[in-house]
Structure 1
Amino acid sequence: MKKEISLSKLIFNLCLFLCIYYLSFTFIAASLDKISDPYSFSRNINDYQITPYWIANFVALLLPWLELICGFLLIISSFRFMSKFKLLDVSNNFIILMLLWFIFILAIASIRGLDIDCGCGLAEKTTPFDRLKEDIALLIASFIIKFRDSVRLFFKINN
């Protein structure tokens, strides 16, 4: 007997797939530049005038690797055979925490009127306000992943 796939389930799974890969590739791409030049990333962190220098140096060494690992874990955990290990939830929770912190410091930089490079690791220079909008979009995608079971129930989409 052939199993029927509803259109709503197909659309939901496609949206979930796009959210996972959007987050993954954004975090992986952003981490590569920071990993290759931690000194510049440390200077970018110091430009926010929020943390002491020694914390900025520590974060510049640790954060890009965390972004890279979380990005890869999202991709790996999206495969059906890895879904039982809950890597998706663990890596997504770390990404949510990072995004909340990024949004917080970008909002403070925008309120202060700081004209700084966000330190996002992406090729083009963006203002803190522009990057704030992008991080909010990433956070929404991350919340869709986190609350995917609730969204399925709300829209009555069968597993």
Structure 2
Amino acid sequence: MKRVAAFVASHGNALLALVFRLYLGGLFIYASIYKIMYPAVFAQSVANYQLVPEMFVGLMAVTLPWMELVCGVLLVVGVRGRSACVMIAAMLTVFMLALVWALVMDIPIGCGCFDSQEAEVGWRTVLRDLGWLLMAAHVYFRDSLFHLENRFSWMIGEEVR
């Protein structure tokens, strides 16, 4: 029992980062599945924000969910987690800016994050995403436990800290 307590005491930030990493990874995997299965519905959600030129809506609706899926899987398995965090932080930042734009311009939209039946977004959605962004930052700077990548560090010549 003392060993567990000592481990938690000395690795508290890393354990929290591990929880955040698994949560964000699972969240982005979950968010990507509906969008991958129904790209036309997601394309309409993207178009509703009125920020992306119409000719790029389809491309964005097809590529963005796959980026979410790949980043989520990378976080869950612990491979290139910092790179996945950067991509997730970038996606969250762009999405939060789009949300703020829609709220300021009083555009009635649904999030388009998980399915087509979502309620309209509000400032709570921005705060929720800001929380996820802070989780990604914590993972980026503090994650050091249970990386699959460390098992193969001899192949890439480095170890994840």
The bucket for the TM-score relative to the shorter chain is 0.7 to 0.9
Q: Which residue of 2 aligns with 1:106?
A: 99
Distance change (3 Å), C-alpha of 1:17 and 1:3: closer
Contact 2:18–2:139 under 8 Å retained in 1: no
The answer for unaligned runs of 5 or more in structure 2 is 144-160
Distance change (3 Å), C-alpha of 1:118 and 1:144: same
Query: What TM-score do you get using the length of structure 2 for normalisation?
Result: 0.79
Q: Which residue of 2 aligns with 1:76?
A: 77
SS in 2 for 1:147: helix
The answer for unaligned runs of 5 or more in structure 1 is 78-85, 150-158
**CA distance, structure 2, for counterparts of residue 36 and residue 68 of structure 1:** 12
Q: Which residue of 1 aligns with 2:39?
A: 38
- Opposite residue 99 of structure 1, the aligned amino acid is L
Range that drifts further, 2-11 or 87-96: 2-11
**CA distance, structure 2, for counterparts of residue 68 and residue 21 of structure 1:** 13
User: Percent identity at matched positions?
Assistant: 28
- Opposite residue 86 of structure 2, the aligned amino acid is N
Q: Does 1:118 align with 2:103?
A: no
**CA distance, structure 2, for counterparts of residue 3 and residue 40 of structure 1:** 48
Q: Which residue of 1 aligns with 2:24?
A: 23
- Opposite residue 34 of structure 1, the aligned amino acid is K
**CA distance, structure 1, for counterparts of residue 133 and residue 120 of structure 2:** 18
Contact 2:71–2:84 under 8 Å retained in 1: yes
Cα shift at 1:142: 0.4
Cα shift at 1:3: 10
Q: Which residue of 1 aligns with 2:131?
A: 137
Contact 1:28–1:67 under 8 Å retained in 2: yes
**CA distance, structure 1, for counterparts of residue 139 and residue 4 of structure 2:** 25
Query: What TM-score do you get using the length of structure 1 for normalisation?
Result: 0.80
SS in 2 for 1:51: coil
Q: Which residue of 1 aligns with 2:59?
A: 58
Q: Which residue of 1 aligns with 2:154?
A: none
**CA distance, structure 2, for counterparts of residue 4 and residue 116 of structure 1:** 47
Report how many residues are paired.
Answer: 141
What RMSD, in angstroms, separates the aligned Cα atoms of the two structures?
2.2
